[in-house]
Structure 1
Amino acid sequence: MKTICFFNSTDQWGGGEKWHLETCIYMQQQGYEVLFICNEGSELHKRLKKTTVEYVLIKITNLSFLNPFSFIKVKKILKQHHIDIIIMNLSRDLKVAGIAAKLAGVKRVIYRRGSAIPIKNSAINRYYFSSVVTDILANSIATKRTVLENNPNLFPEEKIEVIYNGIAIDSFLERDFKPVYNKKLDEFVLVNLGRLEFQKNQKFLIDIAQELKFRNLNFKLIIGGEGRLKDDLETLAQTLNVKEEILFPGFIKNPKDIMHSGDVFLLSSLWEGFGYVLAEAALCKKPIVAFNVSSNPEVVINNETGFLTPLNDVHLFADKIEYLYNNPEIRKEMGLKGYNFAINTFDSTKTQTAIAKYLIDA
């Protein structure tokens, strides 16, 4: 029986952490020996406490690879637990745990790539991907493409597997929800959900609100999430005179609370490895307007389940919103098509089965 180690040192919670935790629990439920290594006090640590998964706490930072004791500690943990497979999600983890795994004789060192950002063609990356990493697991075709974008010889393409992120669809659909906003009569409500950070590009949505107000649409825009840019976004909304049209409800624990508050879901991200929120919006039967970038075309079928526009094109993005504003039947039809597509494509029972086969059969 192979023993699998999931290694993730981030303190925050995001799509990669969700994938790591859910996959670890699934593999444990299938009878495999699993171990989770994470930072003490991290969001993963808090959630692991509520499971029966065995975990080990460490403290890894961006500079840990400069400390030889970090390698020694991780190597010791891996050898004590007889780890056969290790899966890492961050570049800083690869620099520490990847080397430690190599020294400990771990058979498969898997770098799970969840961000559609090209890997730098640096000397250190060429070393890690030629001498440390044995396999790469990507969460979308777009993510796989970016691995070799700067250097087609960085890693063997045939060793890069694509398995989409999965959603536990039945439990998602059965989950109760409480809308964060009750729309007024004839009001058109647009929603967005994500960390308030540069990647998510919510500044663009403030510009969209200004454009929609100029077009005299009766709308409300709800931007859910927390992040470092919250104050900047609220200031921009006031500067552009759309403060009354926009709500910032803060962190949203249950995505259905915000999805079911609106008519259309908007995604302004500059890139996505795999947009969980797009699949969740589709499961809530919401049409989507997003950019035609990275993995979005793999989750949104353009002109069928939503619209994909060029990056940061305010006028065309607003045109698509206005079209949906004026055509409620199209909104309903697109929402239903998106729902069916998500159910058939992103069901976690299918994706987790594929992951288990990938981990064990190789």
Structure 2
Amino acid sequence: MRIKILHIQVLPKLSGVQKVSLEIFKKLNNEKYDKYILFSDSIGYGDRAECIKEFEATGAKVLFSKLLKREIGISDFPALFELYKLCKREKFDIVHTNSTKPGIIGRIAAFVAGVPLVVHTVHGLSFHKFVKFPIWQFYWACEMIASCFCHKIIIVNKYYLKYFKWFKNKTCTIYNGVDYSKFPTSNINGYVEKHGRVNVLFVGRLDKPKNPLLLLEAARRLRITHPNVHFRLVGDGEYMEQCRRFISDNQLHDYVSLEGWRTNVYNYYQQSDIFAVPSIYEAFGIMFLEAGYYKLPVCSTTAEGIPEVVINNLTGVLCEPNDVDAFTKNLTLLIDNAELRKQMGENGHTRVTECFNSSIMVSEYLKIYKNGIRK
């Protein structure tokens, strides 16, 4: 008997969370599974067409919801009802939600609709030390309530386990992984300076969690003492205009490049020497795996799950979030030490290929699917 599975996401773009669903769909046998994925139809970041193409290539049917939005609002109630009706009509065997908003609405809708297996992957939490306590309480309460409406909770790090003590019987950690066999390999030498300069790369959404403005402040401080450095920020998001303004106000046009959203970022990794993302909260960070594969030492922070991926003083250097002095100091250390960059890059490559491979990740998810659905 065929198994009907729905993944629920928000952003119709190939960023980290969506790539996890994509890797799972690639491994699901088309002769056994009918695959569906649902995105919000109200969000336009990135290359939507490329995202649809990639999922359809796995045999999946791509659905869109005009009511499902990233922000909390009055549309959440009709969105919940819309997802409930979809689950009732299509009679899914598995509904797998990803991230906070679809995780709350989607879990409740699917569970109430009687879906046999409701799975949620926690790719990030909205309650953290950088939000005010009343807001923290609200988001925590939403997550705990929604956690009652599912059969399995997957967490992409061990750091978050402390928040789900009430749900130990249905909680486990599965680290994210990627398929490195698909990566171009014309240059994974690491530590190769281009045209006599050191290239520092940022890849990710230009938003509050990734904290790109701190990276730009570090660039401003380094411009005088290290003129042989160039920063490239690849990504888009709500902080794009603020980043443009900071670069303009501080006359950093020749020192910093805003590359915008790029579907294919591999050439940026291959042309860089250091990977720098000063996140203030980060559940995992698939971009750290991509950087590690291309032998780039990482300059980041100790936020949430990052130390489980990037090992301080082995594959990169970490500091406390929002500490611009320490971050700039760590970045300077890597810029000034080519041999250190090379060694950390080699260590990072070994670690990510051995510990964070998509085959390991997908096999764990398939076990959960098979154990939850006996057909």
TM-score category by the smaller chain?
A: 0.7 to 0.9
> Shift in Å at residue 286 of structure 1?
0.7
Aligned: 1:134 with 2:151 = yes
Which one of the candidate residues 298, 320, 330 is aligned to 1:288?
A: 298
Residues 64 and 96, structure 1, Cα contact 8 Å, conserved in 2: no
Query: Counterpart of 1:183 in structure 2: which amino acid?
Result: K
TM-score by structure 1 length?
A: 0.85
Secondary structure, counterpart of 1:21 in structure 2: helix
Structure 2 counterpart of 1:237, which letter? I
Contact 2:100 2:126 in 1 (8 A): no
Name the structure 1 match of 2:16.
15
| 1:305 aligned onto 2:315 | yes
Structure-1 residue corresponding to 2:288: 278
- Cα deviation for residue 73 of structure 1 reads 4.7
Which stretch shifts more, 198-207 or 34-43?
A: 34-43
Is residue 2:120 matched to residue 1:102? no
3-state SS of 2:172 partner: strand
Give the conservation status (yes or no) of the 8 Å contact 2:100–2:124.
no
Q: Percent sequence identity over matched residues? A: 23
Note closer, same or farther for the CA distance 1:286–1:111 as it changes in structure 2 (3 Å cut): same
* Aligned length in residues: 349
Letter in 2 for 1:335: G
Shift of 1:200: 1.5
Q: Does structure 2 conserve the Cα–Cα contact (< 8 Å) formed by 1:287 and 1:331?
A: yes
TM-score (norm: length of structure 2): 0.83
Do the aligned residues in 2 keep the contact of 1:204 with 1:314 (CA within 8 Å)? yes
Equivalent residue number for residue 164 of structure 1: 175
Distance in 2 (alpha carbons) for counterparts of 1:323 and 1:41: 43
Residue of structure 1 in register with 2:161 after alignment = 144
Where does structure 2 lack aligned partners over 5 or more consecutive residues? 129-135
Whether contact under 8 Å (1:283, 1:338) holds in the other structure is yes
Report the AA paired with residue 60 of structure 1. Answer: L
What residue in structure 2 maps to residue 229 of structure 1?
Answer: 239
Partner of 2:96: 87
What is the root-mean-square deviation of aligned Cα atoms in Å? 2.8
Question: 1:45: how far off?
Answer: 4.1
Amino acid at match of 2:208: F
Identify if the C-alpha distance between structure 1 residues 319 and 41 changes in structure 2 by more than 3 Å, giving closer, same or farther: closer
Residue of structure 1 in register with 2:66 after alignment = 59
**Equivalent AA in structure 2 for residue 315 of structure 1:** D
Q: Which of 201, 214, 219 matches 1:209?
A: 219
**Local SS of the residue matching 2:254:** helix
Q: Give the Å deviation of 1:77.
A: 3.4
**Gap change, CA 1:310 and 1:30, over 3 Å in 2:** farther
Residues 361 and 176 from structure 1, CA distance in 2 versus in 1: closer, same or farther, beyond 3 angstroms? Answer: farther
Residue 9 of structure 1: CA displacement? 4.0
Change (3 A) 1:319 1:91: closer
